[in-house]
Amino acid sequence: MPEALPSGERIFRGIPVSAGVCRGKLLVLGLARPVIDKRPVSETAVAEEINRFEKALVQTRHQLLEVQRKVSDAMGAHEGSIFDSHLLVLEDPMLLDEVIRLIRNEKVNAEYAFHAVSERYAATLAATEDDYLRERVTDMRDVTARVLNNLLGLEDEHDLRRLKEPCIVLGHDLTPSNTAQLDRRNVLGFGTDVGSRTSHTAIMARSLRIPAVVGLKDASGQLESGQYALLDGFNGLIIVNPTDQTLYEYGQLEKKQLTLQEKLRDIVPRPAITLDGHRVSLSANIEHVSDTDAVKSQGAEGVGLFRTEYLFLERQHPPSEEEQYHAYRAVAAALKPLPVVIRTLDLGGDKFLSHMHVPAEMNPFLGWRAIRFCLQERDVFREQLRAILRASAEGNVKMMYPMISGLEELNQANALVEEYKAELRQESLPFDEGMEIGAMIETPSAVIVADFLAKRLKFFSIGTNDLIQYALAVDRLNEKIAHLYEPTHPAIVRLIQATVDAAHRQKIRVSVCGEMAGDPVLAPLLVGLGVDELSAAPPLVASLKFVIRRLKLAEAQELARFALDCESAADILSRCQELAHEVAPGLFEDSLAIAKSPA
Ligand code: PEP
Ligand code: MG
C-alpha cells in the first residue's frame, strides 16, 4: 500500500535503478491485461451486444490497416505484411462464430465472450508442437488486446517513441526494446510495477541517464495519467502530489548533486589510480554505436562490453553481416586505439526478438539463449563473427562469448571462428589475426572449470548480473525475491575470487562488467579481490573513478579478506558501505528523510 499522508501526498516505494530526480505529469500506460467482468445481458440486449462486438472488430481492422500503412511507408511492404496475420485473426470464422454463439446462448457481455474464446484459442496454439503456430500466439494476443480495448473504450497503447509533452511514464512493465526507443526529449523518468536492478530495462535506463524506479507493485493500477508526481531514482520513490516541504528537500538534494557533478567532471580526464599507486582499468558498457560519444566524454578507457543484441532488437529483420560490420567498425574507429570488447549475440532471457522466431519458454534465462542459440543458429552466428573479425582490421577490437557454461561450447565457438577466419583469408578480406577472444563468466559451472577456460582465452569478463542469479537461484527480474539477489553473498565473493585466481594463474586479465562493477560501494571489494578492470554504463564511470582515486589498494584488500572470511551478506555489505562512505562521503548524499521513513 502507498503511504497516504494528511497533506494529500502519496508515496509509492520501489527499487531505485537509475539515479536522478524528475517531476512532472504522469503518463500511466494502460494495463497489459484489462479486467474482464462477466455480465449477464437480457434477451433483448443480446443483439446489441453482438452489434457492439462487430463494431469493435471493424474498428480494430481500421486501426490495424492504419498501422500496416505506416509501417509499409516507413519500412517497406514486406515489413507491413507482418500485420496480415493479425488481420486474419479478425476474419477467422470459427473464432467469431463461437464468440457470437456464446453471447447468444449464455447471454453474456461481448468482452467476456470474446476474451474467453480467444484465450482458449491462444492456449491451444501455445500448446501445439508446430513452431509456426506457437509463434502466432503473440499476434493473436496483440489483436485480442486491441479488440478488448475497443470494446472497453480504452485508449490504444501510447507510442513511447513520440510523446506530445514531457512526462513521467508509469506502466506495469516495459520491455528493453520499448525502453531503448523511449522519446528522450519527453520522457523525464519512468516507473514500472515489476522488474529489478539487473533487468535490461533498468540497465538501459542507466545508460540513457533516465531516472527510473521499478518494482512499484501495483502503482500503475492506482495512479492516473495527468497526476503530478516526483520520481526519485536515488531512493526508489514516486511521490504523488508532493508537498512544498518535499519539493524543498528535493531542491536541496539537487543542489548537492550539481556540486558533485562538477567535482566528477574535474576527474574525467584523470586515470583511475588508488592512493597507493594501483592502476584499475575503467571501461564502459554500451548498447548502441552512438554511445561512443559518452564513452569518451565520461573518461572511460574503452568499451568493456558492447551488448550487440540491441542492434538486433527494435527492427523487423536481423542486421546483415555488412550492416553489423559497419556498426562494429564505426565503434572501433571512433575509439581507436582504446579497446572495444564486442560481445557476441546474447539473445534470450529478457531480450526477445520478434523476427527471430524464438518460441516462448517456461524458463527463458535457463533456456535457448546467448551462445547456446548462436551455436545452433549457425547462419546468424557466422554473419556476426565475420562482421566482428572484419571490424578488427579497423581498431583495437576484442571479442567475447556470453553464457559459456563449459569447455565444449568454448571449443565449438572457437572452431567456428577459425573456420570464418579461413573464409576471410580466401576472400582477401582483412582482419586482425591476433584479435583477442575472451569469455563471460556468468555461470557457476564456468567458474568451476575456469582453469580449463583460461588456458584457451585471453581474458575473462565476469557477468555478475547472471552469475548472481544462477549461483543463488534468484531470478534477476523478479521483484518479489529482489531481497535475495545479494551481490555480497559470501558465495558470490568466493566465486569472484576463484575466477580471479584461475585467470591470474594463467596470466590473463579479469574484468567485471555486471552491474556490481558500476556500484561505487562494491567497486572497492572487486578491486580488493584482484579484479583488473571494471566496466559500467558510461554515466557511472566518473563516480567509480572518484572512489578509486580516494582509496588505497591495501584497504580494498583488507575488505576482500574480511569478505572472504565472513558468513553474512549483510555484514559484507555494511563493511563495503563503511569503506565507501569513509573514502568518498560526498558521493552518497542522495538519501532524504522522506526516503528513510518506514513504509
Ligand atoms: C551480466 O550478466 O552481468 C552481463 C553483463 O550480461 P547481461 O546483463 O547483458 O546479461
Ligand atoms: Mg549476462
User: Cell numbers at residue 275, please?
Assistant: 592512493
Q: Is the pLDDT of residue 66 over 80?
A: no
> Predicted confidence band at 6 (pLDDT cuts at 50, 70, 90)?
low
Over residues 225-242, the pLDDT tens digits come to 899 999 999 999 999 999
> Predicted confidence band at 138 (pLDDT cuts at 50, 70, 90)?
low
Q: Where are the beta strands (DSSP E) in 187-254?
A: 187-192, 212-214, 228-232, 237-240
pLDDT for the residue 358: 66
Show the ligand 1 pocket: residues with CB < 6 angstroms: 305, 307, 346, 442, 463-466, 513-514
- Judged by average pLDDT, the poorest of 76-80, 172-176, 389-393, 583-587 is 76-80
pLDDT for the residue 30: 67
Residue type for position 563: A
pTM of the model: 0.77
Nearest CA to ligand 1 atom 4: 463
> Predicted confidence band at 38 (pLDDT cuts at 50, 70, 90)?
confident
Separation of alpha carbons 301 and 408, rounded Å? 32
Q: Could you tell which of 440, 469, 472, 475 is best to mutate to test the pocket of ligand 1, judged by most ligand atoms within 8 Å of the CB?
A: 440
Q: Where are the beta strands (DSSP E) in 393-462?
A: 396-401, 437-441, 459-462
Report for 53-67, 344-358, 565-579: range of highest mean pLDDT: 565-579
Over residues 151-168, the pLDDT tens digits come to 887 665 556 777 888 999
Pairing between β-strand 167-171 and β-strand 21-28 as defined by DSSP bridges: parallel
> Predicted confidence band at 197 (pLDDT cuts at 50, 70, 90)?
confident
pLDDT for the residue 127: 78
pLDDT for the residue 80: 61
Q: Which of 334, 416, 409, 407 lies closest to 379, judged by CA?
A: 416
Nearest ligand 1 atom, CA 203: 8
Residue 377's SS3 state is coil
pLDDT for the residue 278: 98
Q: Is the pLDDT of residue 304 over 70?
A: yes
Nearest ligand 1 atom, CA 465: 3
pLDDT for the residue 599: 43
Separation of alpha carbons 364 and 462, rounded Å? 21
- Judged by average pLDDT, the poorest of 115-129, 382-396, 502-516 is 115-129
The length of the chain, given as a count of residues: 599
Separation of alpha carbons 283 and 295, rounded Å? 8
Q: Say whether 200 is catalytic.
A: yes
Give me the percent of the chain exceeding a pLDDT of 90.
66
Q: Which of 503, 479, 581, 559 lies closest to 191, judged by CA?
A: 479
d(CA 554, ligand 1 centre) in Å: 29
Residue 436's SS3 state is coil
